[in-house]
Each structure stands twice: as C-alpha cells, then as structure tokens.
Structure 1
Amino acid sequence: MTNSGSLSKKLMAMGLSTALLTIGIQQATAAPVTNSNHSIPKKAAPKKISLPQSSRTIGKLELPPLGDKNTFLPPFQTPPVNPLQEVRLVLRLRERRVYVYRKNELQTSFPVAVGKDGWETPTGNFKVMQMIREPSWEHPWTGEVVPPGPDNPLGSRWIGFWTDGKNVIGFHGTPNPESIGRPASHGCVRMYDKDAQALFEKVEVGTPVIVEP
C-alpha cells in the first residue's frame, strides 16, 4: 500500500510539471518578447517621389509639350522645283531663231543658222540628249579630229538633240559668225559662241526641243 501511494504521488507530480510546461510554452507563443532590443523591425513604407514642373527642362533643352511635334521637327516643306525642268526650246526654222520658254513665258531668244538645202534641220519634238563643254569635232569624211579651241567648228558648247544612230544634230557655237541668220549648216543649229554658252546654262539633258518649219 505504501509503495502504491508513493507511486501515485509521483505520477501526480509529473503530470503537474507537464501541465505547467505546456502552459508556459503557450504563453511564450502568444506573447512575443517586447524588449526593445529584440523587437521585429517594421518595413518602411516606400517614399513617393514627385518631380517638380521644372524637371521638364534638361540642361538648356526645353522639352515640348505632348503633341507639339513642330517645336523640334521642322514643318513639312515641298521640295523646290528645278527651274530647268520647266524650260522648253522652240526653234523656228523660217525665222532662223530659237526661243527659250519657261512654262508659257518667253525668257529670251537667239539668232541661229540652220541646215541648208539638202541638209535641212529635222522638224518635230525632241529632247536635249547630250551636253558637252569644249567639245572636240571629228570630220565626218576624213576622220580628222579637231581639238577644242578657236578653230573648232562646234565652238565652245555642244547641245545635241537629234540622232539617227549615226549622225547627231544639235546647237553649237561657230568660228564663222557671218553664217548666223542663214541656211548654212549640214543640219546643225549654229549660234554665236557667247549665245551658245548662254543657252547651255538654261537647259539640261531632257529639256524639250520643238523644231517648227
């Protein structure tokens, strides 16, 4: 009996110790340490950054407002029209004269010599196809080549506008100014050399050439 009573007291003491231990653990879980040296730090809230209105300026470059594209982009510009593209030549054989028109306005005219009988200058609508400064000239029968210079039959400028695949006809200067105003050439259009130089500056390859009787 004595042994049994002692055992019961021991078991009761052990149960009480277990109960106290359990309660202590629960209290430790429910009540975290509040010591300021061991407290859990709170996460800082993110700071809002607001840019002042002056932030629209970077250095000395002021940014344009939205939608204002023309502040930095130049306004659309139509490419200028090449004045030479509006030029046309009208050669009137009976008048022995070539007229320079821009659109429908007469700009100037020059006296010329045209093809003689049997070597008439062809009529029709043509275009400038060749332009040469200080051309050389090859004699059509002998093959002799005359270099640029005062004795060159083509003068200082050549503006070709017709060909049959072998022969070529065009405006050119001449060392024989007395022939101007007459049918004197083999089909080409002779001009005073200074006039040939002036005409050369008024046309380009592709300029229309209208030859009328």
Structure 2
Amino acid sequence: MQLRKMVFVLGILLVGLCVMVKPAEAAEKEAIIINKSINQLAFYENGKLKKTFPVATGRTKSLTPEGKFPLVNKVKNRPWYKENIPGGDPRNPLGARWLGIKVPGDWGRTSGNVYGVHGTNNPSSIGTYASSGCIRMHNKDVIWLYERADKNIPVYITSSSSSFTALAQKYGVGSSKVVADYETFNETLRYGSKGESVKILQRKLSITADGSFGPQTLRSVKKFQTSKGLVADGIVGPKTRKALFSSK
C-alpha cells in the first residue's frame, strides 16, 4: 500500500515538473534577434526563422543596448509623452505599435517604456543609425511583428558579422534549418570569394549554391545591381547587401 502511494506521489511530481518545463522550452522557440551591424531584425516562431525586417538603431553604438532582454509590454498607438503628441497622430515618432523591452537600469515601474521596438513617422531612416536607442521599423512591419510576438519572449540585440543562422545557434533559439530568403551575411564578397556567405548570396540570387564566387555569380550580381540602379561592379558591399535583403 505504502509503495503504491509513493509511486502515485512520484507520478504527480513528474507531471508537475513536465508542466513547469514546457513554458521555458516554448519560449526558446520564439524570439527576436536584432543585428545592429546590418540593421536587420529576425523573428523566430515555432522554432523557425519566420521573417526578417530592416530596422534603424542608435546613432552611436552605445545608444542601443546589447544583450538578452525580455519583451515586457505591447502598446497600440502609444503617445509621445515627451512632446505630448497623442498616439495615431502623424507627428508621433513612435508610429503604429510599441513593443517594450526590459533593460537593466530602466526606471523601476516604467520598465519597458524606455527602450522598445516601434514604428516610425520617418520611414527614410530605416536601415540607418538614427535613433536615440530604440529600434525603429516600418509601420506595416511592426504591426506584423506586434500581432505575432508574445510578451516575455527573449529579444537578443548584438553587433555581429555572423548570419542569423549562426546567431540563433549561439543563443539556442529555434532549429538550425533556415529559409534561404532570410539568411544574411555581413562581409564584402567579390570574384574569387568562397564559403558559406557566398552560398547564401547564390541562394538569394537563385543560382547554383556551390560556395565559389565564379563567372556565373559575377554575372548574376551585376545583373541584380543593374536592376536596382546600383553600380554594376560585381562587388557585394553594403549597398548591394542592403538591396539584396530588402528585396522580396
């Protein structure tokens, strides 16, 4: 009888532990990763990279904090309190949505109201270093993210030359399988370059991904540059990378 009671109690404890573990496991499958080096934001959902977006970050490297922070509040049409501009007003620099993150040093009860991912009334700033510390997005993009990102998911902010694939593996987010359209790299590529970054470039250009920047890749890069009004020099530098990862 005593043995049966012990087995029953152990069973209850095991079930309880399983229930407690599930939320933590689920949280690691949903995350936001922001790479300031290329001003791109990646959203992971159900363990997979769902979508990436161009963003604007701090005017200097120190303005936008780096690290792992929880998403703690979400606000539609947040007012701009500093200038007393109501939410939804075209003059409001916070745009259509606010996703606040908790950063050490925030002012106590206002945590999550100092730093955030938000929309903008200055879309031309996206892709540049323009903010006072927050992460700006196009309004249509932040609305998309707002509808999918849950509170308390991790937001990773970094400055890195690594791809989102490598960053996700480093942080333990999602799976290692990534949709080719959402891979990225942060190095300049030219004729003769080799490696994983070249493969990402080739997949983006829809050509054979052999990891070697040869004649076919050179022709495809020049064709792409011409189509975007860029100098067709065949070198994949910052402007060409931006055009590649901004194109649908």
1:161 pairs with one of 101, 108, 124: 101
Larger Rg: 1
Q: Distance in 2 between matches of 1:127 and 1:165?
A: 13
Residue deviations 1:12-45 (CA, integer Å, cap 9, x gap)? xxxxxxxxxxxxxxxxxxxxxxxxxxxxxxxxxx
Q: Which residue of 1 aligns with 2:81?
A: 138
Q: Which residue of 2 aligns with 1:195?
A: 141
Q: Distance in 2 between matches of 1:117 and 1:212?
A: 14
Q: Which amino acid in the other structure matches residue 183 of structure 1? A: Y
Deviation, structure 1 residue 205:
1.1
SS at match of 2:145: helix
Q: Which residue of 2 aligns with 1:16?
A: none
- Which 4+ residue blocks in structure 1 deviate beyond 2 angstroms? 162-167
Residue deviations 1:115-173 (CA, integer Å, cap 9, x gap)? 0127521000111011001110112xxxx311012211100100011342237111000
Q: Distance in 1 between matches of 2:145 and 2:119?
A: 10
Whether 2:44 is the aligned partner of 1:101: answer yes
More helix by share: 2
Alignment of 1:26-175 (within 5 A): 85=27, 86-117=29-60, 120-139=63-82, 144-148=83-87, 149-163=89-103, 164-166=105-107, 168-175=114-121
Q: Distance in 1 between matches of 2:92 and 2:41?
A: 22
Aligned length: 131
- 1:165–1:112 Cα change, 3 Å: same
Checking the alignment, whether the CA contact within 8 Å between 2:30 and 2:47 is kept in structure 1 is no
Q: Distance in 2 between matches of 1:184 and 1:195?
A: 18
Deviation, structure 1 residue 207:
1.1
Deviation, structure 1 residue 103:
4.6
Residue identity (%): 35
Unaligned residue ranges in structure 2 (runs of 5+) = 1-18, 108-112, 160-248
SS at match of 2:100: strand
- 1:119–1:151 Cα change, 3 Å: farther
Whether 2:129 is the aligned partner of 1:183: answer yes
- 1:192–1:138 Cα change, 3 Å: same
More strand by share: 1
Q: Distance in 2 between matches of 1:212 and 1:104?
A: 20
Checking the alignment, whether the CA contact within 8 Å between 1:119 and 1:186 is kept in structure 2 is no
Q: Distance in 1 between matches of 2:124 and 2:45?
A: 29
SS at match of 1:135: coil
Unaligned residue ranges in structure 1 (runs of 5+) = 1-78
TM-score with structure 2 setting the length? 0.49
SS at match of 1:187: coil
Q: Which amino acid in the other structure matches residue 84 of structure 2? A: V
Q: Which amino acid in the other structure matches residue 123 of structure 2? A: P
Q: Which amino acid in the other structure matches residue 114 of structure 2? A: V
